[in-house]
Amino acid sequence: MTTITFLGAGSVVFTRELLVDILSFDELRGVTLALHDIDAERLETAEGIARQTAAQLGASPVIRSSLDRRAALDGADYVINTIQVGMHEATVRDFDVPAAFGLRQTIGDTLGVGGIFRGLRTFPVLGEIARDMLEICPDAWLLNYTNPMAMNIAYLHAVAPTLKAVGLCHSVYWTVRGLCEVIDVPYEEVVYTSAGVNHQAWVLRWERGGESLYPLLDERIAADPELRRRVRVDMYRRLGYYPTETSEHSSEYVPWYLRHDAEVERLRIPVGDYVKISRDNRAEYVATRDALREGKPLDLSRGATEYAPEVIHAIETGTRRRIFANVPNAGLIGNLPQGYAVEVPCVVDALGVRPEAVGELPPQCAAVNRSFVSVGELAVRAALTGDPRLVRQAAMVDPNTAASLTVDRIWELCDALTQAHGDLLPAALREPVKL
């Protein structure tokens, strides 16, 4: 019997949606679901979601839960990772401390000082997960949703190169769906491909009937001044390819926007947006927990199937699918650094997840990506070596941070965030750094 382990199962949004998708496949309705979280109440809620979802869908999975990660991993064929180390409180610190230095962020989970410090507190747990999996379930696939995605996959590749780890994110899918809505073309009628790094990949081809849909997008943008007030549209008009994550995300990966009051206004950039999102996620958890306790049915409506259930179903049944996933760059994109994680098309079937080589990105896109990658490479190396200077150097080369603060203030900010996060960070990286 196929066993699917959820790590961070108390992330109720992901858990609920993934469970609906998994149990909606006829071939997966009898799987074993092993749920793990370090928070007993959240784990109880996750188990309640699993049982209620199964009942509403008429499925009959075996459901077990454990506060012991190793017990949850026993027998796993697939491990879905949605952990968030430090939870909402750490997210708030990632925003409040930089804001006191005058540094603007919007999401803070992928790049910038928020992404760097989220990665640094996540890497040790990822390392433990990898060690446990290689001992307990060495043939299992690790399907990672936890951000910072590219840093996490690069770190896992460095510490556990034989682990079958794949990073999954829905940004490419929703980007293309959104673009189709803008030009009033049904998504089902288009073909597309994308490549780059997670949250900053590029829609390289987007066609219907063999013809590019970019000219139609150009017409809509020219006719609608409100469309031109989006960061992604501004980047597309200047770079020639549409980036694959929201304008909120995209604004903080480049040096051009957040430091300027006028640009924040022109492009309607929601500074600090993720704090509200994180707060809303907490409220949704409470609402779901209370609904379960009151015996109310869950809302199981879904707009689209997540990648992890599709991957599991494809491998289990041999159904061939093509997705966009995050894997180490082993000759997949020629003009991005090898070894770091890239987001590329992948074929999935009974043989597993197989990435496709893309060749070279358009040079301007690769140039923007290389700044993104440089931050992650230094943050990962900081964790691997225990060198706290590399943390500061990662922040120094981050595009938005470098555009907004002097080097002295960047170092002071890293000192402040190190102190704020305390023992969530590895001991070696908490050592003071002097020039």
Cβ of 404: how many Cβ atoms within 10 Å? 21
Q: Beta strands 3-7 and 341-349: pairing type?
A: unpaired
CA 341 – CA 325 distance, rounded (Å) = 10
DSSP letters along 105-173, please?
-SS-SSSHHHHHHHHHHHHHHHHHHHHHHHHH-TT-EEEE--SSHHHHHHHHHHH-TTSEEEEE-SHHH
CA distances from 432 to 77, 140, 391 (A): 42, 39, 12
CA 249 – CA 273 distance, rounded (Å) = 10
Exposure pattern of 171-198 as b/e (b: 16+ CB <10 Å)? bbbebbeebbeebebeeeebebbbbbbb
Is 199 known as a binding-site position?
A: yes
Is 42 known as a binding-site position?
A: no
CA 35 – CA 20 distance, rounded (Å) = 15
Structure letter (DSSP) for residue 430: G
The rounded Cα 166 to chain-centroid distance in angstroms is: 11
Whether the ω angle into residue 148 lies within 30 degrees of 0, i.e. cis, is yes
Structure letter (DSSP) for residue 381: H
Taking a C-beta distance cutoff of 8 angstroms, is the pair 290, 22 a contact? no
Whether the ω angle into residue 362 lies within 30 degrees of 0, i.e. cis, is no
Is 289 known as a binding-site position?
A: no
Is 169 known as a binding-site position?
A: yes
Taking a C-beta distance cutoff of 8 angstroms, is the pair 216, 363 a contact? no
CA-angle at 373, arms to 345 and 125, nearest 5°: 85
User: Which residues carry out catalysis?
Assistant: 170
The residue with tokens 């409220």 is 283
Cβ of 307: how many Cβ atoms within 10 Å? 27
Return binding residues: 147, 169, 199, 266
Return binding residues for substrate: 147, 266
Return binding residues for Mn(2+): 169, 199
